[in-house]
């Protein structure tokens, strides 16, 4: 396999970076996510305006597009065996139909949404999030609309949000599904900076 590449948006243009590499080392401070939310950010950065209102309208348009053109689910993004494990290699169950997975070091994410606090649990009982406990919380979200509803509804709605795990670290292994020789695309974001991984 010739590897893949990573793409980022610089000054509104998509730029290929790290060609031929399969691993991207990127420091996370607050949160890391992949899926539909990162796709919205990646597409937004290509259409960013100089107006705050204009930028909000771009976000609404990009997010609304996902209602019609449904992004990939975890089932298609992650390997079926070992897609998500803790650092000891033990598998971590997650909802395969969801379209966003986030790893949180702080309570807020995506314009202030606290997706850990109100979420339902997939596999167990969890403690409150504490920034200094050396653990990252992970949660899945069914769609970006669920994140928007959570923010718009004074943060009380937890529809579509599911807590997955609390762990000191995770291993995430992405699936490779080539369709008609087109590369597999996975959208990532690290602290709000969007990256497209192609393999």
Question: Bigger pLDDT: 145 or 3?
Answer: 145
Q: Rounded mean pLDDT of 89-116?
A: 87
pLDDT for the residue numbered 21: 75
Q: Of 176, 187, 198, which is closest to residue 34 (Cα–Cα)? A: 187
Burial 157-168 (b: 16+ CB within 10 A, else e): bbebbbbbbbbe
Burial 1-38 (b: 16+ CB within 10 A, else e): eeebbbbbbeeeeeeeebeeeeeeeeeeeebbbbbbbb
**Judging by beta carbons within 10 Å of its beta carbon (0-12, 13-18, 19+), is residue 69 exposed, middle or buried?**
exposed
Which pLDDT tens digit goes with each residue over 119-170? 556 556 788 888 888 999 999 988 777 766 655 554 445 668 888 999 999 9
pLDDT for the residue numbered 96: 93
What value does the mean pLDDT of the chain take? 83
Q: Rounded mean pLDDT of 46-56?
A: 86
Q: What is the pTM of this model?
A: 0.85
Q: Of 117, 118, 145, which is closest to residue 130 (Cα–Cα)? A: 117
pLDDT for the residue numbered 74: 92
């Amino acid at each position: 396999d010739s590897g893949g590449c990573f793409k980022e948006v610089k000054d509104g243009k998509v730029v290929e970076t790290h060609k031929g590499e399969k691993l991207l080392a990127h420091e996370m401070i607050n949160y890391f996510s992949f899926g539909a939310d990162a796709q919205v950010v990646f597409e937004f950065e290509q259409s960013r305006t100089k107006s705050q209102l204009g930028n909000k309208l771009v976000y609404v348009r990009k997010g609304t597009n996902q209602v019609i053109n449904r992004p990939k689910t975890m089932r298609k993004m992650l390997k079926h065996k070992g897609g998500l494990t803790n650092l000891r290699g033990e598998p971590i169950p997650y909802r395969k139909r969801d379209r966003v997975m986030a790893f949180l070091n702080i309570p807020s994410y995506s314009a202030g949404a606290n997706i850990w606090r109100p979420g339902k649990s997939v596999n167990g009982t969890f403690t409150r999030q504490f920034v200094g406990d050396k653990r990252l919380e992970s949660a899945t979200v069914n769609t970006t609309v669920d994140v928007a509803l959570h923010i718009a509804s004074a943060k009380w709605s937890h529809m579509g949000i599911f807590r997955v795990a609390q762990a000191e670290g995770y291993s995430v292994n992405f699936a490779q599904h080539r369709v008609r020789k087109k590369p597999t695309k996975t959208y990532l974001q690290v602290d709000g900076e969007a990256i497209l991984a192609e393999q």
